[in-house]
């Protein structure tokens, strides 16, 4: 089955710097790759996603890139702010099952943005 | 729009006891999921419902876990009897459902279970 590896497990940056989180997946047939932000005591919240027919997607300070050949995708946050501090999860959707919720998650990256 | 509601927020039980969690998905969402999130890990899918039918329960430990979604709306997840390793946050999520590629999954705040 699908397996998702995520690195790094912790990341500390200075406010205003960029942060990059990387994930690899094992099933080349996976076709949907969302990123979730989870704040303490809350459920994961979708922040950006990308489908397998797209190489890059950007939404203000957040961007995601996908390399299908290498089976890896990355989250880029520019001009980081203290409120970006949270745990970020990448996920991949294997081809079985129709809905977006049947996801395989990475182990998460704890991002700390220092003022 | 109201989000996914879960209760209780916290639960502490002794091993071998039973516990139940409740989830009310976003109105109109046909698909409902239960995830288990162990501390320091990503969520792991336990079961997926489409309306009141089970789509995927391959990772549900059926000897102790059960879930139902009567009438295709609210859902309950039960553990009986609980083990120490069941300590985790149990997340409920819902989505519009079907094969739509635009169907984002929305998560509730979760129920934190501690088994002592």
A53–chain B Cβ distance below 8 A for any pair = no
B88–chain A Cβ distance below 8 A for any pair = no
Alpha-carbon torsion A79, A84, A90, A93, what sign?
A: negative
pLDDT score, position B100? 52
What 3-state DSSP class applies to A82? helix
pLDDT over 70 (residue B1): no
Whole-number Å distance between alpha carbons of A98 and A39? 28
Nearest Cβ partner for A102 among B56, B100, B108: B56
Q: Which residues contact B15 (CB under 8 A, 6 or more apart)?
A: B81, B82, B83, B84, B115, B116
Percent above pLDDT 70 for chain B: 93
Q: What is the DSSP letter of B4?
A: -
pLDDT score, position B103? 62
> What residues form DSSP beta bridges with B12?
B114
Q: Identify which of A37, A33, A101, A87 has the alpha carbon closest to the alpha carbon of residue B25.
A: A101
pLDDT digit string, tens, across residues B57-114 = 988 999 999 999 988 899 999 999 999 999 999 999 998 875 555 568 899 999 999 9
Identify the band that residue B52 occupies on the pLDDT scale cut at 50, 70 and 90.
confident
Whole-number Å distance between alpha carbons of B40 and A9? 9
Beta strands (DSSP E) in chain A are 4-7, 10-14, 19-25, 32-38, 45-51, 56-59, 62-67, 72-77, 86-92, 104-105, 109-114
pLDDT score, position B70? 83
Q: Which residues on A lie below 8 Å from B109 (Cβ)?
A: 41-43
pLDDT score, position A81? 97
Cβ of A42 within 8 Å of Cβ of B56? The answer is no
pLDDT digit string, tens, across residues A54-112 = 899 999 999 999 999 999 999 999 999 999 999 999 999 887 655 555 789 999 999 99
Cβ of A99 within 8 Å of Cβ of B104? The answer is no
Q: Which residues contact B63 (CB under 8 A, 6 or more apart)?
A: none
pLDDT score, position B38? 96
């Amino acid at each position: 089955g699908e397996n998702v590896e995520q690195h790094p497990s912790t990341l500390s940056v200075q406010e205003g710097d960029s942060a990059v989180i990387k994930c690899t997946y094992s099933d080349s047939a996976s076709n949907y790759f969302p990123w979730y932000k989870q704040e303490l005591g809350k459920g994961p919240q979708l922040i950006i996603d990308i489908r397998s027919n797209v190489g890059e997607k950007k939404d203000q300070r957040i961007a995601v890139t996908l390399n299908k050949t290498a089976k890896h995708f990355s989250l880029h946050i520019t001009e980081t702010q203290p409120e970006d501090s949270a745990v970020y999860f990448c996920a991949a959707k294997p081809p079985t099952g129709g809905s977006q919720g049947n996801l395989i998650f990475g182990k998460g990256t704890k991002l700390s943005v220092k003022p | 729009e109201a989000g996914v509601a879960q209760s209780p927020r916290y639960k502490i039980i002794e091993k071998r006891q039973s516990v139940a969690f409740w989830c009310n998905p976003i109105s109109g969402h046909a698909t409902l999921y239960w995830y288990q999130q162990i501390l320091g890990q990503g969520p792991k899918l336990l079961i997926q419902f489409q309306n009141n039918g089970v789509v995927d329960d391959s990772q549900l430990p059926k000897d102790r876990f059960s879930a139902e979604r009567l009438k295709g709306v609210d859902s309950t997840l039960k553990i009986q009897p609980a083990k120490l390793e069941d300590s985790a946050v149990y997340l409920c999520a819902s989505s519009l459902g079907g094969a739509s590629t635009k169907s984002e999954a929305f998560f509730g705040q979760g129920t934190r279970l501690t088994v002592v």
